[in-house]
Amino acid sequence: MRSTTARKAVAVLLAATFGVAAAVAPAAASPPAVRQAEALELHKAITVQVLKRLFEDGDVAVVDRFIRPDYIQHNPLAPDGTAALKALAGPLAAQFPDLKYDIKRVIAEGNLVLVHSNVVLTPGTRGTAVVDIFRFDGEHRIAEHWDTAQEVPATSVSGNDMFSTVSSPRTNRPGPRWVTPFAKSVATAYFDQLLVRKDVDAVDHLAPEYHQHNPLIPSGSAGLRELFSGLFQQFPHLTVERKRVVAEGDLVAVHAHYRTGPEDRGQSVVDIFRVGKDGKIVEHWDVVQAVPATSANDNTMF
């Protein structure tokens, strides 16, 4: 019965959110792996619906429907709880009636959903690159939230914007879930070797044509060895602490705390990698935000 209900919920939410129909099969036809995949799709659909309806429409009713009252908040501008979220989102939608939460990619693993978006308050402006991470509880309700935000600059060294997919196939959707463990192992090995252990030989994990969306770094892997060697020399006490990883298909996102030294509050950074079939990383996006001196909650950004 629970499986049938969950499948129907997936169908309804996917139809409402994405405008597509989802088939509902009998519960007996649902092995554990299928039920897990259904839960991930349900959580993705809920997340998209909450962000769109709350921030674009100012519909605070979605908060009570999908978010726990004891919601834990890591955004430094907001306290814990759903009342604070309503107080933030309601006036924002009224102040910016044309606000667009332009969701670019959504990936889910375990109880986490990660959303990479371009949030534009006023049409015609570049807006902000935002990564939201939501943790779901066992009842399919949002229990916790982290985010990282960065203003979109006017120019990019590589010529790529902060959101598009350049590598083939040019889709923002993650690849099939069966490749997730492989892609996750490649991306985390690269991340740990390069940024945690500061070993520049990690660039061997990158495809020669490596497509870059960080606006300050050129595309291609050729010059990255020298670039990171210079960075590590400039900041010999740099530490990068990996906090959480969310992977689906060929997309792997790493949320980490970057600090140049023990006295530095540092930066909240989300790196998103796309892993090719040959085990080389072919594309990279990131969002970087300085950790502020004060926060409306006691949870830190991590």
Say yes or no: 102 and 22 in one domain. yes
Say yes or no: 62 and 144 in one domain. yes
Is residue 13 assigned to a domain?
yes
- Given a cut of 60, whether residue 169 has pLDDT beyond it is yes
Position 33 scores a pLDDT of: 79
Nearest-angstrom CA–CA distance, 219 and 171? 19
Nearest-angstrom CA–CA distance, 16 and 207? 39
pLDDT tens digits for range 176-197: 999 999 999 999 999 999 999 9
Position 29 scores a pLDDT of: 52
Is residue 51 assigned to a domain?
yes
Say yes or no: 224 and 90 in one domain. no
Position 7 scores a pLDDT of: 44
Contacts of residue 143, defined as CB under 8 A and 6 or more positions apart, other chains included, come to: 68, 70, 71, 72, 135, 136, 137
Position 34 scores a pLDDT of: 86
Is residue 44 assigned to a domain?
yes
- Given a cut of 80, whether residue 4 has pLDDT beyond it is no
Position 116 scores a pLDDT of: 99
Say yes or no: 7 and 89 in one domain. yes
Say yes or no: 31 and 95 in one domain. yes
Position 118 scores a pLDDT of: 98
- Write the CATH number for 222: 3.10.450.50
Nearest-angstrom CA–CA distance, 142 and 129? 22
Q: Which residue has the higher pLDDT, 142 or 6?
A: 142
Structure tokens at 276: 């090719």
Name the pairing type of β-strands 128-136 and 112-120.
Answer: antiparallel
pLDDT tens digits for range 202-218: 999 999 999 999 999 99
The DSSP element (H or E) to which 281 belongs, if any, is strand 281-290
Say yes or no: 121 and 236 in one domain. no
Phi (first) and psi of residue 92, to 5 degrees: -65, -45
The total domain count for the chain is: 2
Is residue 156 assigned to a domain?
no
Say yes or no: 105 and 186 in one domain. no
pLDDT tens digits for range 83-129: 999 999 989 989 999 999 999 999 999 999 999 999 999 999 999 99
Say yes or no: 139 and 187 in one domain. no
Say yes or no: 37 and 110 in one domain. yes
Label residue 26 exposed, middle or buried (CB < 10 Å: 0-12, 13-18, 19+): exposed
Is residue 158 assigned to a domain?
no
pLDDT tens digits for range 117-146: 999 999 999 999 999 999 999 999 999 999
Position 199 scores a pLDDT of: 97
Position 19 scores a pLDDT of: 39
Say yes or no: 126 and 32 in one domain. yes
The residue to which tokens 């790493």 are assigned: 254
pLDDT band at 3 (very low <50, low <70, confident <90, very high): very low
Say yes or no: 147 and 182 in one domain. no
pTM: 0.90
Q: What is the mean pLDDT of residues 247-259?
A: 98
Position 26 scores a pLDDT of: 39
pLDDT tens digits for range 8-67: 444 444 444 433 333 333 345 567 878 999 999 999 999 999 999 999 999 999 999 999
Domain that holds residue 66: 2-151
